[in-house]
Amino acid sequence: MELRPPGFSPILPAVLFAIRIARILLWTLLLAPFVLLARLLTAGRGAFALRVGSRAMHLWARAACRALGVRIQVQGRPPRGPLVFASNHLGYLDILVLGACYPSAFVSMVEVAGWPLVGTLARLVGTIFIERSSSDDVPRVRQQMRERLALGLPVTLFPEARPSPGLEVARFHAALFQAAIDQGVSCVPVTLGYECPDSPEPPAQVVCWWGEMGFGPHFRALVDLGRIEAHVTFGAPVGPGADRIELANAVHAKVRERFVPVRQARREDGAHRFARGEGRT
């Protein structure tokens, strides 16, 4: 049986949800015209458009994280310049969290391009989409990564290829690390983790997005959490070296070294915090 605080109203979560979504939409409407104008002026191919896109993504991600109640705790500092950031992957929130930490172009699954609003914005800011099930798509993605690195822009990828519930860091696929070697740039290991301290529900289920979870219901539950703690650790740059498998393994070892498994089980005492007046703030 779910415990509710005294005076709890089912209307309140709906109002909070509407306010948070409205804030995200407002920032989208404010930033999208600048990105669109830059792309129109350069036919979508110029360095200026890509730089504007990465900066707009950074500002939008920061605003979206604030709207969603995501508090980011960072260890280390993300270096600047043309680098490849390689992170473990826990779900769509990863892009917002890392996007809030530094401007970057992201490599994302092609399915995101079809998402309402999010897909449109991702295309505008210069996201590189990859068909995960097709190895034939790798050369195109590597070329787009090289183009952005040549312009001095960082690129962020999730080499596990698929998000996970956060029990461990799966092996890193090495194919896209070749772009770093080709451009002679280093890779930055990034370790992500989440906690939702005001909810008894495990972040592995309500923050991480993996398997066959539907996006709509999951996103609604995530917005209703109230507060999410994101833990981001930036390691020292690695490489580039000459062998992509060795580079991928070296970065993976650094990410795994700092990884703390995400909480998988429901915290039974959390349901009683509302009854004691220690709920959502």
Per-residue pLDDT tens for 2-33? 444 444 445 556 777 777 777 777 767 776 66
For residue 276, the model assigns a pLDDT of: 31
For residue 34, the model assigns a pLDDT of: 66
Query: What token pair was written down for 149?
Result: 């690195």
> Domains, the chain, ranges and CATH?
11-272 (3.40.1130)
Q: Is residue 194 pLDDT above 70, yes or no? A: yes
DSSP letters spanning the chain: -----TT--THHHHHHHHHHHHHHHHHHHHHHHHHHHHHHHTTT-SHHHHHHHHHHHHHHHHHHHHHHTEEEEEES-PPPSS-EEEE----THHHHHHHHHS--EEEEEGGGGGSTTHHHHHHHTTPEEE-TT-GGGHHHHHHHHHHHHHTT--EEE-TTSS---SSS-PPPP-GGGHHHHHHT--EEEEEEEEE-TT-SS-HHHHT---TT--HHHHHHHHHTT--EEEEEEE---B---S-HHHHHHHHHHHHHHT--PPP-S--GGGGGTTTTT----
For residue 14, the model assigns a pLDDT of: 72
Residue 73 to residues 76, 79, 95, 227, 260: CA-CA distances in angstroms?
10, 17, 15, 13, 14
Q: Is residue 90 pLDDT above 70, yes or no? A: yes
For residue 38, the model assigns a pLDDT of: 62
Average pLDDT over residues 171-190: 97
Over residues 222-265, the pLDDT tens digits come to 988 879 999 999 999 998 989 999 999 999 999 999 999 999 99
Over residues 48-83, the pLDDT tens digits come to 888 888 888 898 899 889 889 999 999 999 999 999
State how far the Cα of 149 lies from the Cα of 49, in Å rounded to an integer. 14
State how far the Cα of 173 lies from the Cα of 71, in Å rounded to an integer. 30
Q: Is residue 41 pLDDT above 70, yes or no? A: no
Q: Is residue 281 pLDDT above 60, yes or no? A: no
Residue 176 to residues 31, 90, 171, 207: CA-CA distances in angstroms?
30, 19, 13, 27
Q: How far apart are the first and last CA of the chain?
A: 22
Q: Is residue 45 pLDDT above 80, yes or no? A: no
Q: Name the pLDDT band for 273 (thresholds 50, 70, 90).
A: very low
Q: Is residue 269 pLDDT above 80, yes or no? A: no
Q: Is residue 214 pLDDT above 80, yes or no? A: yes
Average pLDDT over residues 205-223: 91
For residue 251, the model assigns a pLDDT of: 98
Over residues 93-144, the pLDDT tens digits come to 999 999 999 999 999 999 888 877 777 778 888 899 999 878 889 999 999 9
Q: How many CB atoms lie within 10 A of CB 236?
A: 10
Over residues 145-161, the pLDDT tens digits come to 999 999 999 999 999 98
Q: Is residue 36 pLDDT above 80, yes or no? A: no
C-alpha dihedral (39, 119, 142, 83), degrees to nearest 10: 80
State how far the Cα of 33 lies from the Cα of 6, in Å rounded to an integer. 45
State how far the Cα of 238 lies from the Cα of 236, in Å rounded to an integer. 6
For residue 132, the model assigns a pLDDT of: 83
The pTM of the full predicted model, rounded to 2 decimals, is 0.85
CB 170, CB 160: distance < 8 Å: yes
